[in-house]
Amino acid sequence: PVTETSTIKKKISSKELEKLIAAEEETPADNEEPEIDVESKQAESSDKKTEKKLTRKEQKALEKKLAFEKLVAPTAESDQFSISQASTQNRQAQLFETAIDIKIENFSISARGNDLFVNANLNIANGRRYGLVGPNGMGKTTLLKHIANRQLAIPPNIDVLLCEQEVQADEKSALEILLIADVKRVKLLEEQKQLEAQLETSRDNDLQDKLRHVYDELKAINADAAEPKARRILAGLGFTSKMIS
């Protein structure tokens, strides 16, 4: 016996075919996935990889490099003064980090359009004491203030502290006079003392926030190291331990 298999085909009209096609186009496929911004994903991935690659040592080196570039920026302006100094190459930047001498080349400082220094060079050797001599109004104090504020390229491991010209003779030691010359530190310590006294009788959140901010500011300027720093400066100027205290 022979078994025959027959296929029954149903005829579909053209209208029914169009409806089926339209319905298929409107229905999303099961495996269809939302569009992904490939470029942004790659950028995020690249950023994450870069962050992972930077070790703590490399991050610290990068921060030092950025700080140095800020110091040797071609021009810098304050309220009354404009400053320019020569740019420095990468090799010089590395030497700058560990320098014990101050060497600034081709710097200019002007005040309200009047030139005080034009393409000047400054060399201060470690271990030597210098006196800055000149007529009033020639820029002596201005130069010292720019050095103290590190608006000129001063190596980061060199301590700088500026005392005002007029020092009142009293019972204060040389160390105390030098410490009170750091006006910002003195102001923050006084504010800290006042806030701590107020918090002894109050738990006001605003006072606590202010005190935390003062702590952060003191930490940022390394206030705890102020006295050892002042002692080093005085010793460098030839003060004995007895004279310092």
pLDDT of amino acid 183: 86
Place of tokens 């053209």: 14
pLDDT band at 149 (very low <50, low <70, confident <90, very high): confident
Rounded Cα–Cα distance for residues 233 and 244 (Å): 10
The tokens for 143 are: 């130069």
User: CB–CB of 71/154 below 8 Å?
Assistant: yes
Average pLDDT, the chain: 75
Between these two residues, 163 and 177, which has the higher pLDDT value?
177
Q: Evaluate if residue 194 carries a pLDDT over 60.
A: yes
Judged by phi (left if over 0) then psi (alpha if -120 to 50, else beta), residue 232 lies in: alpha
The tokens for 41 are: 């994903």
Q: Tell me the pLDDT tens digit for each residue of 225-243.
A: 889 988 988 888 888 888 8
Most confident listed range (56-65, 154-163, 205-214, 225-234): 205-214
Q: Evaluate if residue 190 carries a pLDDT over 60.
A: yes
pTM of the model: 0.48
Rounded Cα–Cα distance for residues 115 and 111 (Å): 6
- Return the ∠ at Cα 142 (arms to 239 and 149), rounded to 5°: 70
Helices 90-97, 56-71: inter-axial angle, 10-degree rounding: 100
Rounded Cα–Cα distance for residues 57 and 23 (Å): 62
Q: What is the 3-state secondary structure (H, E, C) of 146-172?
A: HHHCCCCCCCCCCCCCCCCCCCCCCCC
pLDDT of amino acid 14: 62
Q: Evaluate if residue 51 carries a pLDDT over 50.
A: no
Rounded Cα–Cα distance for residues 124 and 100 (Å): 9
Give me the residues paired with residue 110 across strands.
82, 115
Q: Evaluate if residue 180 carries a pLDDT over 80.
A: yes
The tokens for 22 are: 């339209």
pLDDT of amino acid 167: 62
User: CB–CB of 222/157 below 8 Å?
Assistant: no
Q: Tell me the pLDDT tens digit for each residue of 83-129.
A: 777 666 565 666 777 888 999 889 999 988 888 999 999 999 988 88
- Lowest model confidence (mean pLDDT) among 4-13, 94-103, 197-206, 226-235: 4-13
pLDDT of amino acid 162: 82
pLDDT band at 148 (very low <50, low <70, confident <90, very high): confident
Fill in the amino acid letter for 90: N
